[in-house]
Structure 1
Amino acid sequence: MTRPLRILPAGDPALVLAALREALAGDGPAILPVTGTLPGAEYGPVPRSVAVVIETSGSTDAPKRVMLSTDALLAGAAASSVALGGPGQWLLCLPAHYIAGVQVLVRSIAAETKPVLMPAGHFDPERFIECAEQLAEPLRYTSLVPVQFARLLEHADSDPRTLAVLQRFTGILVGGQAIRPQLVERAGEQGVTLVRTYGSSETAGGCVYNGVPIGNTRVRATAGQLELSGSVLAEGYLGDPARTADRFITEHGVRWYRTGDLGEVDASVGLVRVLGRADNVIISGGEKVSLDAVERVVRSLPGLAEAVVVAGADRAWGQVPIVVAVGGSAPDRDAVRAAVASALGNAARPARIAMVERMPLLPSGKPDRQALRGL
């Protein structure tokens, strides 16, 4: 059996919330929130179990349309509620076409609380504070990407009101990309309850909190790559059975999702550690180099906390890491190269540092790596 698919403007989160409520209850069509101009083409019906279709960002891969069932979305919301300490009121700060944004709405529906919806547009700490002060329930939550959280902590350094609001949150979920250890430390020092999340559209959002799987999620590392199973898994990719078969596999009656992320799982305590994307590895001078690992080292250096590392072509080495940073004057290239070489070896040394006026970002807040590679 199938159901129709309704395409919605993600810029109107109130509309998405109302349509999502109907989709989860089975009273309306499945929804596909999109940004920008609504597409003219129809995607056709989806399986009856599907409530939401999410178009992935395409930050490291070709965009995909992920089909999420009502059961998967509600399982994710229930697991999150238990892990955080109970149902509460949510502040939506992320776009409604982004899985973390959709899950804020799903959790609100499941908790039977009214979410506070930040107006769409550029993230502004002052606007965040105004919206956060509207939260009235005892338990208060929000979901952010690292760049948003970093701006709030920076704003709190000079504004006691901002810090007080952040401290009142029962939990602030931060995910979508790696978060710098310095931010985690600062949050702890200032009494802000930060929850580091790991997951994707294919897992109905974050399903690992602070390195620990939530709900019935299981995580394993196969040949160095993370695979996840549990009730939160997507049905697959709309109109792409080949990719679905490649990413979703069944072994001994258990369905697993191949994340494409490098990582490891501590067998004694089950703690999950994500090391980077498997497809973000280059061959430089015959050696494998993880650009995510280079980026972690670079971001630990002064003035490069928001830097991004991408691959560049090189006649001698084939491919080389290139650091892209925001600012007027470039940092000392030799110092950067020496720090990376000391941590990761000579093959990982960045070939050059490119300075840009503004980092191109995807609507989710992640750096647009494809745009950076094209510069």
Structure 2
Amino acid sequence: MASATSAAAERYVGPPPPDGGSDFDAQPVRSVDVPVESDGQPSGIAGAHSDSAAESTASVGAFVDAATAAVRDAFAAADAARLTAHEDSGAGWDAEAAVRIPLEQAVVRARVNATDGGVSGRTLHAGLFAHAAAHPDAAALIWEIAGGEERVLSYRQLAGEALAVAGALRAAGVEPGDAVAVQLPKGSEQIVATVGVLAAGAVYVPIGFDQPAARRAEIIRTGAVVAAVTAGAEVPQVRTLALSDARVYQEPLELPVFPDPESIAYVLFTSGSTGQPKGVEVPHRAAMNTIDDVNERFEIGSADRALALSALEFDLSVYDIFGLFSVGGAVVALDEGQRGEPARWLELARRHRISVLNCVPSLLDMLLTAAAGQRLDSLRMVILGGDWVDVALPGRLRQVAPDCRFAGLGGATETAIHSTICEVFDARVPVEWSAVPYGTPLRNVRCRVVGPAGHDCPDWVTGELWIGGEGVATGYRNDPDRTADRFVTHEGLRWYRTGDLARYLPDGTLEFLGRADHQVKIRGYRVELGEVESALRALPGVRYAIAAVIGSAAPKLTAVVVGVDGVTLNADALLAAAADLLPAYMIPTRIELLSELPFTPNGKPDRRAIVALLSAGEQVSAFVSPRTDLERALVDIVAAVLEREQVGVTDDFFALGGDSVLATAVVARVRDWLDSPNTVVADFFAARSVAGLARRLLDREQRTGTQGRLDAVARMYLEISSMTDDEVLAQH
């Protein structure tokens, strides 16, 4: 276990350790506030533009001593000024510190945020119609019907069908700027309908084909939807068009409508914290900013073909469709029945020589597992987003597609698909990464990491990720209060407050640390689930790890883990190894080993299903009496601390009402009363039970060659503890 733990410790990027020094008389550190201007520079500092995407993968190596001193001195100076200003009232202790980041860090931030570039000013569908005029017979949309028979729409045919749909919408009273729902099964028909809605100058609102009726009704109401394109089913309260009729409508629009780039292109509904879906309004300008950068950066062109894996209501689908149409490439569409069949994806990728894949990490993982070492030589670019990117994926991809480029992108629906990029070259993943980091901003995008007082956080310090620039959405549909809360203006630039936790590394790389709303309180401690997951993923053999809290009266931190193929994991061993990476209160009470994670339709881990699974697995174990003198002594100590009549050796200490304070009391008694000074609180957190703690103590005894000593001390303890005070005094 020691070697596994040390390897994990190398992979886990935790907060930088303090240097232990106390020399605050070092050379003064220059520091500045960092208002990031619209040109990406902090006030008074000239930054250099990034020369290549390679800068986004700069090494995140050892923390530089000078940076440590800089952060330390910045905080020290701010604290001194704050407390001096309030020394009479004492109010300084409660005031927010206006910490200024050091100049050296400000220069790096300015450099990575110097992203100004061209803006095409095009709408999402402009490229498709341009290519329909220039290359009308080129393949635009490819799919297969039952039996594997191929169907193809050329650019001319797709444009013609889209204009027919637009004409049908116009005849139904749809005007430019109106919202139109697209409620169709996944496949080529979805894409035809979506392009048709845009050609009418309208806004498309995807509604999952399998959405519950109540949620569908809420989306239509909040989205101010006036019409819907379906497979034939009527949608209550709106005008409904059957696509089969609309695509052959005899009075198509003569020309597509190309609205102002600031006009809304689509509204995607995501889960809201109140339980009500929230609709994100994304303008053409924002979506095209992302598409143009990705296409130019990776030289995506008319020869490329993309496999459209993502659901239409998930924002990665925007690039799947319009990223390729904007450059004259072809989209290979899956139908509804193929969504969960990676073996089928593999067939399609081979048969149609897919060159571009843009999806969430879990879908790539499924595809690579289905490939089982077979080659996909046509694949030349993989773009992952929407979730944590496992550090094993670049290496696994290289085995299947040796010449393929690999990039992890970060962002939010509210910032138009992707906002940051980290390209991994030649599958070289630094050992300290527990996940591929967010990297650096895309073109015309800015990123801040902001503390509670609204100031930029120094390197290594966790804060909320703010994303600004051309990719920022308009706001939330018919929700001005939520829009005002999440979309803010700072230093003349509009920003979206993501709710993601992140931190800057010294080279300007952004590291994603999880969601702020995934912070929970366990036994009085605030715990970030993302940090727990990051540590568990760093353990050898772990492929996925998801942490969750179950229970309300006595909430418990738990986790599920999926191992890499061919590796057998042991939950107890993982808990023991986690004790070397996490503070005691952040170690899960139990780990459940799964063969696969449950996923949402968008390919993200289904946290609700995981909580349900973990809750269902909470069973009261049968009572097991102590079997040895050591176990009897430990039961006596634990029962006394918990003030319980009965404690079984396999009972979980924390399930019985234990917490970190009581665990400390148990360990203190074990150290003193069982003469075991090397026992630490982390031992008990990893062990969870009397039996587990006994095993750890005996293992340590065996390693030191003092077998039998603990049992002898335990017998003496039991003998003395059973005596009355008079009997104890009589022994002296």
**Alpha-carbon distance, 1:248 to partner:** 0.6
Q: 1:308, 1:296 → 2: CA distance?
A: 9
Say if 1:260 and 1:62 are closer, same or farther in 2 by CA, change over 3 A. farther
Q: 1:352, 1:241 → 2: CA distance?
A: 42
The partner residue of 1:204 within 401, 416, 424 is 416
Bigger helix share: 2
Say if 1:297 and 1:151 are closer, same or farther in 2 by CA, change over 3 A. same
Give yes or no for contact 1:281–1:291 (8 Å, CA) kept in 2. yes
Q: 2:368 is matched with which residue? A: 153
Alignment of 1:220-259 (within 5 A): 220-223=448-451, 224-259=463-498
1:179-234 per-position Cα deviation (integer Å, ceiling 9, x unaligned):
22122333346524221111121111112121122121111111111111121111
Give yes or no for contact 1:225–1:262 (8 Å, CA) kept in 2. yes
Report the 3-state secondary structure (helix = DSSP H, G, I; strand = E; otherwise coil) of the residue aligned with 2:482. Answer: helix
The partner residue of 1:21 within 190, 195, 198 is 195
1:39-80 per-position Cα deviation (integer Å, ceiling 9, x unaligned):
344432699811111112569986321111111111221111
Q: 1:347 is matched with which residue? A: 585
The amino acid across from 1:291 in the alignment is: L
Q: 2:350 is matched with which residue? A: 133
Matched residue count: 362
Say if 1:189 and 1:130 are closer, same or farther in 2 by CA, change over 3 A. closer
The partner residue of 1:307 within 545, 565, 584 is 545
Q: 1:351, 1:258 → 2: CA distance?
A: 33
Alignment of 1:288-307 (within 5 A): 288-301=526-539, 304-307=542-545
The partner residue of 1:44 within 224, 248, 256 is 224
Q: 1:133, 1:250 → 2: CA distance?
A: 47
Q: 1:181, 1:172 → 2: CA distance?
A: 14
Q: 1:34, 1:195 → 2: CA distance?
A: 29
Report the 3-state secondary structure (helix = DSSP H, G, I; strand = E; otherwise coil) of the residue aligned with 2:526. Answer: strand
Q: 2:204 is matched with which residue? A: 31
Q: 2:236 is matched with which residue? A: none
Alignment of 1:1-375 (within 5 A): 3-25=177-199, 27-35=200-208, 36-37=210-211, 39-40=216-217, 41-42=220-221, 43-44=223-224, 49-57=263-271, 63-87=277-301, 88-121=304-337, 122-135=339-352, 140-158=355-373, 160=374, 163=375, 165=376, 167-188=377-398, 191=402, 192-210=404-422, 211-223=439-451, 224-266=463-505, 268=507, 270-301=508-539, 304-313=542-551, 319-325=555-561, 332-354=570-592, 359-374=597-612, 375=615
Q: 1:346, 1:267 → 2: CA distance?
A: 28
Greater mean deviation of Cα atoms: 6-15 or 65-74: 6-15
Say if 1:61 and 1:289 are closer, same or farther in 2 by CA, change over 3 A. farther
**Alpha-carbon distance, 1:109 to partner:** 2.5
Q: Which has the larger radius of gyration?
A: 2
Q: Which runs of 5+ in 1 are unaligned?
A: none
**Alpha-carbon distance, 1:331 to partner:** 5.3
**Alpha-carbon distance, 1:93 to partner:** 0.9
Say if 1:205 and 1:9 are closer, same or farther in 2 by CA, change over 3 A. same
**Alpha-carbon distance, 1:10 to partner:** 4.8
Give yes or no for contact 1:237–1:244 (8 Å, CA) kept in 2. yes
**Alpha-carbon distance, 1:287 to partner:** 2.3
Cα RMSD of the aligned pairs, angstroms, is 3.0
Q: 2:275, 2:368 → 1: CA distance?
A: 31
Report the 3-state secondary structure (helix = DSSP H, G, I; strand = E; otherwise coil) of the residue aligned with 1:373. Answer: helix
Report the 3-state secondary structure (helix = DSSP H, G, I; strand = E; otherwise coil) of the residue aligned with 2:358. Answer: strand
Bigger strand share: 1
The amino acid across from 1:219 in the alignment is: C
The amino acid across from 1:130 in the alignment is: E
Give yes or no for contact 1:260–1:277 (8 Å, CA) kept in 2. yes
